[in-house]
Chain A
Amino acid sequence: MVGFNHPVVEYNSMTTVDQIADILLRHLQGNLSGAEQQQLQQWLDASAQRRHFFEQLHDEEKLREQLMLFLPGTEQATEQAILAKIHDIRNTGAAAGAEEAIVVPLWKRGWVRYAAALVLMAGGVTYFWMAGNNNKPAPATNSLTKTEILPGKTGAVLTLADGRQVVLDSAGNGIIAMESGTQVILDNGKLLYDLDKERGGKMQFNTMSTPKGRQFQVVLPDGTKVWLNAASSIRYPVAFAANERKVYVAGEAYFEVAKDMHRPFLVSVNNTADVEVLGTEFNVNAYDNEKVVRTTLVNGGVRVSAQQAEPPADGRLNDVILKPGQQAKVLNTTGKAQQNVKNPVTIADDVDIEQITAWKNGFFNFGENVDLGEMMRQLERWYDIEVVYENGVPEKSFLGEIPRHLPLKDVLDILQRTEVSFRLEEGRRLIVLNK
């Protein structure tokens, strides 16, 4: 780069950043006085970059792009997006300035031939150097030392009735879509449906899903609040039917159902169980890789029934009504085509509500009922990692509460105080070892 030339602005001490921005705005508005026109012209004359910038200001697409990126609502998203890229680059150990360091083009240009000739004469060291570098350029030094695995965040994917998908962590707050007369609004990590009027006709469904590492909250058209944990989804109509409110859930969700005497609230859980709600708060846990679907009642009343059950022949239940503090378990037969399997529902009394709903309040809460396997599966979903057991699954469990906003490293530090140790490997793999 050549040295720089001092611009004319030095002589015109009037134009501070604020003043020139003001003049530019008023130029766009068409409100400049003669004197201001001159000021602007002088400012522009001083440098080609300024003139280039000025031109871009009148480019519709560019202006629109910038306005959108830095809107008070989306600015956070842009800030986070770039920060995420920074962490990605650092984590993959890309050597800084890799693109500047290696002399690949020269090799390719056949400079090698001359070097080869030299080698024959010089011998020894040079030849060794040549041979060593004859392969692809040395891969970037892998710094596995500091792989930051960050915790999950608020965010989800909304699939609209027409199939369009909106990624909610990069959309700004405000109206994000219109669906059959209903406005869909994003408000600080929550999705709200503002039903302008009830529309008749075909029911249209939206699906909210969280990938690994994300959780979200949605307020359904009837005012019911739903918290979605990582790797979960809920499918619901944009406007509820006249006689019932039915939604479909997989993964884990916590419900606070809005009272509606005329319309019972039904949850179909992972094609395994049905929960009929009698006005209330409850938690549903139904992951494919867990053996049991668990519905825990916090307040009110629910009826839980198994979907694939034969009529009870031996007196076992396939249908229960829960009281607060109880949990119903239904065997998870997803993926198994066993029509003959009786699918009884069992009840557990006095479960630890706090432990079961801890995720919604921002904590991991492990306890005697949570074995190591399940604990690791929770970490897998929240941190988007893969857990591998080096020598079998240890028979251990842990007691305690850990905040979910901690990076994985900190969580592991806490857990390592027991007889299990962990090793974090490339590609987000966590190895579990018995000490």
Chain B
Amino acid sequence: MENKYSSYQENELLSALRTGSEDAFTEVYRRLYKRVYLFATRFVEQAADAQDLTAETFVQLWNKRTEFYNLDGVAAFLHVTVRNKCFNLLKHQHMKEGRKEELLQLLSEQDSEDFYIEKVQSELLSKIYAEVDKLPPRMREVFLLSYREGLKPAEIAELLQIKVQTVTNQRVSAIRLLQLALRQDPMAVILLAVICRGAGFLSL
């Protein structure tokens, strides 16, 4: 979703935002929404709620668009705003008392910089995708599809067009293949376990 502001420097971008440019607002959104959203998902159960909170936060930003002169300032505002929204949402939700307390307490903690953890999280996700990308194309597609749809082993076998009786042998090679691709690390095994939904499928 690129527009002409995609390559703009901070100054010009913020200047355009202050004068009410929709495109500039969209660009600022594009640069910062992930952090806000990741923050919300850490404290709020439902993805839809997290999306709503993120959207509301940016609406508040729009309402105060004349007040910002740099992206750090915008980030600080977004951080405070989404934090408050999470706080309010949590307060009215039903959950185990101890858990609610813990989350509310966490919310009031402040780290070294705004959205620090979200930056780490974002970076980590990128690294994980990079690893998944290294899988052979077909394997990757199957992995992603089954991850998304939670397919059972039999369905995966069908996808790979493997006859059921030879699944045993194939199982091993599928895992080994993944392991090799992900540099023989337990992460692959964990993920494969997620795909296959059950220890029975794994022959470790």
User: Which of A's residues lie within 8 Å of B, judged by CB?
Assistant: 1-7, 9-10, 17-18, 20-22, 24-25, 28-31, 47-50, 52-53, 56-57, 60, 62, 64-72, 76, 78-83, 85-86, 88-90, 94, 96-97, 99-100, 174-175, 178
Contact = CB atoms under 8 A, between A and B. Distances in A.
15 contacts: A2-B108, A10-B112, A18-B123, A21-B126, A22-B127, A25-B127, A31-B183, A66-B121, A70-B34, A70-B122, A76-B1, A82-B37, A83-B1, A85-B54, A90-B59
Given A25-B128, A79-B1, A64 B187 contact: no
A79 B33 contact: yes
B148 A68 contact: yes
Nearest to A70: B125
Interface residues of B, number: 58
B123 A178 contact: no
Interface stretch (B3-11, B68-76, B139-147, B169-177): B139-147
Residue of B26, B55, B145, B159 with most chain A CB atoms under a 10 A cut-off: B55
Contacts of A178: 158-159
Given A5-B110, A64-B194, 14 more contacts: A3-B110, A7-B111, A28-B186, A29-B185, A30-B186, A53-B121, A60-B194, A70-B34, A82-B37, A83-B1, A89-B55, A96-B59, A174-B145, A175-B145
B124 A29 contact: no
Main secondary structure of the interface of B (DSSP, over half): helix
B109 A79 contact: no
A323 to B, nearest CB: 44
A269 to B, nearest CB: 35
Contact of A25 (B37, B60, B124): B124
Contacts of A72: 129
Interface string B26-66: 10011001100110011000010001101110111011000
Contact of A66 (B26, B125, B148): B125
B1 A89 contact: no
Q: Which 6 A-B pairs have the closest CB atoms?
A: A4-B110, A29-B185, A85-B55, A21-B123, A21-B124, A30-B186
B100 interface: no
B117 interface: yes
Contact of B187 (A29, A49, A70, A96): A29
